[in-house]
Structure 1
Amino acid sequence: MNYSERKLLGSEIRSALAFFQPSAATILRHSAISSSHPLTGAFFGVRKGNRGLRSEKIPGATFLGITSSSRQQAMGSNERPNPDRLAVVTGANKGIGLETARQLASHGVTVILTARDEKRGTDAVESLHQVGFSNVVFHQLDVRDPASVASLAHFIQNQFGKLDILVNNAGASGVVVDVEGLKALNIDPESWLSGKATNIVQAVIRQDNEDAVTCLDTNYYGVKRVTEALLPVLMRSTSGARIVNVSSLRSELKRMPNESIRNQLNDIDNLNEEKIEKLLDGFLEDLKNGTLEAGGWPMMLPSYSVSKTVLNAYTRVLAKRYPDMCINCVHPGYVKTDINWNTGVLATEEGAKGPVMLALLPNGGPSGCYFDQTTMAEY
């Protein structure tokens, strides 16, 4: 499929999804609090200890102050809430993640909003409840913590038995920035997007090995960790599972200077996680030795760029492995969020459109593709 055909398909997908766009009345109908809703009110994850698994019968869950075990007794030992569509959105206490959760909820999807920080996560859920979205609930998730990831998987398995949508949105920039110094540079959006600002920003951006490891462990390994843990419940989706990996314009292979690396990541027939992670080891070694430029790695936000490039590659590996699912990655646009120090120009409402479109793809939709907002694009 050539680029023009992909753009046409992207247009057709948006047309096919037009019926998902709800009227104000539909939003109110979906979000009105109902006593018959299986998840009326909030249930908030209560973490016991810093890293350990929760000890409740349903990990991390309390319903309106009622413990999970007493809730199960009230429901009957074998009864489970069974929403038509259930979604997990990671890193959703603010920005694109929060808006993605809101838009999915407006389509009648029950959303498990996750965040590393419990207070921020519960506050985010409460903000959605206050505007009528009772179908959003919270569960704590640190994508870098295997115990936290296992706890979420255990909760979904015990409480719902299936998952329909996973939006991997949690991310880290991989650098420390002098924000005031960056603002003083007054870099225009085009320079950011094209990479022309690469040399300009070096004076206000610092990256060390620890920052790089955090970035890669969040943006690639964290996505892999969460996805692998939730695959068993995604496979039980009755509506067809959807996985959406939130990527970046920095991920595009044309931005990778090293031709050999580009070719390896584009060789989808032979690509696997082992090869991806061998490349990441090489990147960290070059970073440690101060030889990133000589190694042909991108110099604009190196760890972030590399993490999103390999995230796209992992998306393609998964899509090939699980042909019955729709698994895609998406650049949400240059959105004004904390991860780009609010240098972006788009509102979060715009940034969430691509992830939401891919989360709600009809059966038979594309898989293994990269989207620039809502348009299919070249890797």
Structure 2
Amino acid sequence: MKTVLVTGANKSIGYETVRLLAEKGYRVYLGSRDLNNGKEAAARLNEDGTKQIIPVQLDVTDPASVMQAKAFIAKDAGTLDILINNAGILGEFPQTAVASPVENLRKVFDTNFFGVITVTQTFLELMYDSKQPVIVNVTSGLASLTLHNDPSWVYYSYKIAGYGPSKSALNAYTIALAYELKDKGFKVNVVDPGHTATDFNHHTGTGSVADAAAFVADYAVMEADGPTGMFFSKDIAAADRVSSW
């Protein structure tokens, strides 16, 4: 049975992604910063009796927590086939370029950027043993520098000094990561599930959590000949994705 780790998965898109992958027959580790929240989420998802969803305490900003999660999964499964770096925070508002305290912006980067690097580098050892390793880094359309310079873009006025740039950095890291791992059989991509109605944005998004999770899950279970080092967005037409990084 293939194994999956989804970070920040006790609710919202991460939670639904866990559900979809478990339904496809994967053994899924539900990462949650608060273990009790993770246990409650896993219990709800395991009500069908499959017991394929295992809660794991994982705070992406705490290297010790990440190492403990790795040790747990290594003992339980021995390998990891799919890593979905879903955990993220929006940060405190207002979040302006001219006035936001640096410490507030740093917190956003610690989770959305450095946290992804910590988790990825820690779990690579388990993924090297996978026959078809996949890494999905969940990003946002707000990371696009091209779109942010296009006044006709529907979200042109959404200039957020910490969140957007943290995802832009994540996109850049993903390109470098995919390049370094391409000869080891890895598929590494960034996936934007679109403007989804969640607690994250006070349910102002236009898309559903179910549809967003399905979009993320599709790129987690791609075939061995699938793309790598690419950007996929639910809100951006396929023809425009390369030019919208």
| TM-score, normalising length: structure 2 | 0.88
- 1:151 equivalent to 2:68? Answer yes
Counterpart CA distance in 2 for 1:306 and 1:256 is 11
Please state how far the C-alpha of 1:105 moved relative to its aligned partner: 0.5
- Amino acid paired to 2:124: L
Once the two structures are superposed, residues 233-265 of structure 1 have per-residue CA deviations (whole angstroms, 9 ceiling, x without a partner) of 011112x100000000011130455xxxxxxxx
- Residue number in structure 2 paired with 1:320: 179
Q: Tell me what 1:244 maps to.
A: 136
Is there any run of 5+ residues in structure 2 with no aligned partner, and where?
150-156
Residue matched to 1:209: 102
Q: Which residue of 1 aligns with 2:154?
A: none
Contact 1:143-1:222 within 8 A present in 2 as well: yes
* Displacement after TM superposition at 1:132 (Å): 4.3
Counterpart pick for 2:212 among 332, 351, 362: 351
Do residues 121 (structure 1) and 59 (structure 2) align?
A: no
Give the C-alpha shift of residue 158 in structure 1.
Answer: 2.2
On the 8 A contact 1:168/1:246 being kept in 2, the answer is yes
CA distance in 2, matches of 1:132, 1:326: 32
Equivalent residue for 1:342? 203
What is the aligned counterpart of 2:161 among 291, 302, 325?
302
Distance 1:133 1:99, change over 3 A: farther
For residues 160 and 105 of structure 1, the distance between their equivalents in structure 2, rounded to whole angstroms, comes to: 15
CA deviation profile, 1:200-229 (whole Å, cap 9, x unmatched): x97xxx843222111000000000000000
Q: Distance in 2 between matches of 1:255 and 1:211?
A: 25
Structure 1 counterpart of 2:159, one-letter code: M
CA distance in 2 between counterparts of 1:357 and 1:232 reads 24
| In structure 2, C-alpha distance between the alignment counterparts of 1:208 and 1:88, rounded to whole Å | 33
Q: Give yes or no for contact 1:99–1:352 (8 Å, CA) kept in 2.
A: yes
Aligned length: 229
Could you tell me which residue of structure 1 aligns to residue 228 of structure 2? 367
- Matched with 1:223 is 116
Q: What residue identity is the alignment partner of 2:110?
A: D
What secondary structure sits across from 1:143 in the alignment?
coil
- Pick from 7, 14, 18 the counterpart of residue 101 of structure 1: 18
String of CA shifts for 1:53-85, please: whole Å, max 9, x gaps: xxxxxxxxxxxxxxxxxxxxxxxxxxxxxxx21
Q: 2: distance between equivalents of 1:299 and 1:131?
A: 41
Whether 1:332 aligns to 2:214 is no
Q: Is the 8 A contact 1:245 1:328 kept in 2?
A: yes
* Structure label with greater radius of gyration: 1
* Inter-partner Cα distance in structure 1 for 2:232 and 2:5: 20
Find the aligned partners of 1:93 and 1:152 in 2 and give their Cα distance.
Answer: 15
**1:173 aligns with one of 72, 90, 95:** 90
Aligned mate of 2:57, from 133, 140, 145 = 140
Letter in 2 for 1:112: Y
Query: RMSD between aligned alpha carbons?
Result: 1.9
Q: CA deviation at 1:119?
A: 1.5
Offset, 1:172: 0.7
Conserved in 2, the CA contact under 8 Å of 1:174 and 1:301? no
The amino acid of 1:303's aligned partner reads G
Per-residue CA shift, 1:62-115, capped at 9, x if unaligned?
xxxxxxxxxxxxxxxxxxxxxx21000000000000000000001001000010
Give the Cα separation in 1 of the matches to 2:129 and 2:191.
Answer: 24
1:353–1:373 CA contact under 8 A, matched in 2: no
Runs (4 or more) in structure 1 with deviation over 6 Å come to none
SS in 2 for 1:137: strand
Query: Could you tell me how far apart the structure 2 residues matched to 1:299 and 1:350 are?
Result: 23
SS at match of 2:5: strand
Give the whole-Å Cα distance in 1 for the aligned partners of 2:37 and 2:93: 22
In the TM superposition, what is the alpha-carbon distance from 1:134 to its structure 2 partner?
Answer: 2.0
Hey, what does 1:189 align to over in structure 2?
none
